[in-house]
Structure 1
């Protein structure tokens, strides 16, 4: 009797299963075109990554973030996750200090010496990103003209010491160093976003498939790996085909982003998303990235923030929240009138 019921249910609702697969793909596609683009927008905007390299890294780390969940990493207790993170961090720091640091310092010094020679001789550095070209203005005879602000024990003195000096010129060594570090922060942002949003895109589909196969309401169970792969694929396709538009707007039009500003933006947004995901709080990477960009630009001060653009984006956030609910309610009413007597 149960087999007959399942077969009857399957034949009647097969069209809904096909529609669910298409809608799930569309959902993941749209999320990849928008949210994933935000994860790598500052790295592309700062000139650290080309658009093609960003596509490849996003595909790897977004997929890894989503798929490594089907390994139960999301079920690790908070205190144990902290211990593991600290252990990995200490190990990575030791490897960097004694293995990677000497090579990185030589790479930065070699590039800086090349920049100084060209600047002193009156030539413009060729083949460099726009940020590094601007940074060479602060180099005179092999030394930077900037001096750190002195700390004074008073509220005003702390504020002046804490906030960036608006007259400070970018140092070429600093920019070169953070151009390497920002690649890691971009990958971290992509990984954290994949762990949060890719499962969300395929969760309704996984539940529907369970109902279709068993004619029962599912309980919280492990999501099969192929669902996560399907969601990762759709997400990456959306990013590859439409992500460049969002990258251009977020990475270049809000304010000027250089490598160390981009690193701060990505790290702050990634930590926020990871903590929110662990606590089960739904957050948007778009809001985190844009908020970080505007905050860094406002604190930095020397480069103006495109406040009119931010205002339009903020209005868009406010409008889309209730608007999506209205559309969902309308579609639900239509489906109910068609299929439920």
Structure 2
């Protein structure tokens, strides 16, 4: 080869290396710029929310207060989208039934629909049920208390999202209202009975969600996965499971999502659910039969049959979540708007449409800009999910809410969904350990599976379990402490 040719080769190699470095630099710049772009868009949305408030209330005596409150409400809504929505979409993404982009699109549509069509019913509890408004004395104190609660809850959820812990935004707002109430009027202003039931839900929600999810996974394994003819078993039982899902969600939506349109008691909701279960079961039988034709008799084939029901369940959960949890963003904001406009902070709170839009769009923007981190955490990093396991989590969430409503217990959708993921993971650990022990008894060399090997086979990441449990326990007191400090600062400044 000539010297000229050698130089050409070296020149091309150098060019390739330089292009490689440029490509890496572009990727690194894109990765680094992503949070900056997201933060910039979030700031623009917060500014737009403040501008909308200024258009409606800029000329009133308390216009500046409403503008600031609207900005805080938009900030809270962004954080709900970034943190809470991951619990509905995480299992479907982790199971591979939905792409990240598909999950974000579906959640944004159904969260907004739930918020605008059926949202707002729980604002009364957020604004008035945790503290006694009469103990606060005057309208100004009530407004500053709600302002402090809103900002404190948003800051706490933002911190939890940053460390990768899915927390209850409901409990964050509850803690914020409680802390501001204590700072304003002492411990006597707090409804400790309500706080006691909320504290009980810290344990009840995840445990109940985990047990129900584990129970359904056991049923699927026993009746379908470990049957000789898996496809025949699936044709029999998948329509039953889909029918149960339809019934559970029909009852769930009747109880939680449609109160604004029509008030339905628990018995009526259960009857609606039963009718929906039977109808969907009958309709699903031919669909599953046709879908299962030509499938091989193995576990991978079963995942196909659970894919569509899982996507539908995630969408329905998002609708119900938007209907219920949008009040966490706009409840204190609605109370501030009403108290600022009328001077009456004791009347029932109603939500103006523009306030509801801030909550609905804020949740969607927060999910789009910052949601993928928590979606990956819930979907991939706690334990490995497939469509069957994720389906058990979604089904558990709907059934747990129905049971809690029957028992009169306040529960957190975050705690239920994440508890369901942990329940599925711990059940798989127990089930795997049991099968290992059976295998050891059948082997002549019982040392084949050592303690180190069993430790390596743990299917739930303990570090995430401890981080999430700690975040749940300290959410209310942390938000309360932060809110109390903010209230005292606002009171001092004004």
Task: Give the TM-score band, short-chain normalised.
Answer: 0.7 to 0.9
In structure 1, the partner of 2:265 is 77
Instruction: Please state if 1:296 is matched with 2:424.
Output: yes
Equivalents in 2 of 1:105, 1:214: separation in Å?
61
Alpha-carbon separation, structure 1, partners of 2:363 and 2:426? 32
Q: Cα offset for 1:269?
A: 1.8
Confirm or deny: 8 A CA contact 2:95 2:386 kept in the other structure.
yes
In 2, Cα distance between equivalents of 1:9 and 1:63: 27
Whole-angstrom distance in 2 between the partners of 1:19 and 1:9? 11
Q: Distance in 1 between matches of 2:405 and 2:117?
A: 14
Which stretches in structure 1 are left out of the alignment for 5+ residues?
1-7, 114-142, 145-170
Which residue number in structure 2 is paired with residue 210 of structure 1?
A: 338
Note closer, same or farther for the CA distance 1:245–1:299 as it changes in structure 2 (3 Å cut). Answer: same
In the TM superposition, residue 34 of structure 1 has moved relative to its aligned partner by 0.4
* Matched residue, 1:108: 292
Among 68, 76, 80, the residue aligned to 1:31? 80
Contiguous gaps of at least 5 residues in structure 2: 1-56, 120-257, 433-457
> How many Å separate the matches in 2 of 1:245 and 1:288?
19
Q: How many residue pairs are counted as aligned between the two chains?
A: 272
Determine the structure 2 residue equivalent to 1:17: 66
1:221 Cα shift? 5.1
With over 3 angstroms needed to count, the CA separation of the structure-2 counterparts of 1:67 and 1:82, relative to structure 1, is farther
Larger radius of gyration: 2
Question: How big is the shift at 1:80?
Answer: 2.3
Within the alignment, does 1:220 sit opposite 2:408 as a pair? Answer: no
Q: Is the 8 A contact 1:65 1:192 kept in 2?
A: yes
1:65 counterpart residue number: 114
Question: 2:234 is matched with which residue?
Answer: none
Q: Work out the CA distance in 1 between the residues paired with 2:493 and 2:307.
A: 56
Which has the larger displacement, 264-273 or 15-24?
Answer: 264-273
Q: In 2, distance between residues paired with 1:208 and 1:191?
A: 26
1:149 is aligned to none
Distance in structure 2 (CA, Å) of the matches to 1:220 and 1:36: 28
Alignment of 1:1-341 (within 5 A): 11-69=60-118, 72-73=260-261, 75-97=263-285, 101-102=286-287, 104-110=288-294, 112-113=295-296, 143-144=297-298, 171-217=299-345, 219-220=347-348, 222-273=350-401, 276=404, 281-301=409-429, 302=432, 304-339=459-494
SS of the residue corresponding to residue 47 of structure 1 reads coil
Provide the residue aligned with 1:155 in structure 2.
none
Q: 1:77 to 1:10 in 2, by over 3 A?
A: farther
The whole-number CA distance in structure 2 between the counterparts of 1:241 and 1:278 is 37
Residues 182, 263 of structure 1: 8 Å contact kept: yes
State the distance in 1 between where 2:313 and 2:109 align.
14
Between 17-26 and 313-322, report the one with greater CA deviation: 313-322
Residue 281 of structure 1, CA deviation = 4.8
Structure richer in helix, relative to its length: 2
Paired position in structure 2 for 1:154:
none
Report the Cα distance in structure 1 between the residues aligned to 2:280 and 2:427, rounded to whole angstroms. 31
Q: 1:325 to 1:333 in 2, by over 3 A?
A: same
State whether residues 36 and 58 of structure 1, in contact with CA within 8 Å, keep that contact through their aligned partners in structure 2: yes
Given the superposition, is the C-alpha separation of residues 321 and 216 from structure 1 closer, same or farther in structure 2, using an over 3 Å criterion?
closer
| Residues 63, 232 of structure 1: 8 Å contact kept | yes
Asked if 2 retains the 8 angstrom alpha-carbon contact of 1:179 and 1:259, the reply is yes
**SS, match of residue 75 in structure 1:** coil
SS of alignment partner, residue 293 of structure 2: helix
CA–CA separation in structure 2 for the residues paired with 1:50 and 1:336? 47
Task: Quickly say closer, same or farther: Cα 1:96–1:33, change in 2 above 3 A.
Answer: same
Shift of 1:174: 1.6
The structure-2 alpha-carbon separation of the partners of 1:274 and 1:17, relative to structure 1 and needing over 3 Å to count, comes to farther
Which is further off, 313-322 or 221-230?
221-230
CA distance in 1, matches of 2:100, 2:79: 18
Question: 1:279-326: CA deviations, max 9, x gaps?
Answer: 775433222122111111111224611122211221222233311111
Of the structure 1 ranges 31-40 and 177-186, higher mean CA displacement relative to structure 2 is found in 177-186
Aligned CA-pair RMSD: 2.6
Question: The residue matched to 1:23 in structure 2 has which SS?
Answer: helix
Structure-2 change in CA distance of 1:321 and 1:188 (3 Å): same
TM-score by length of structure 2 reads 0.51
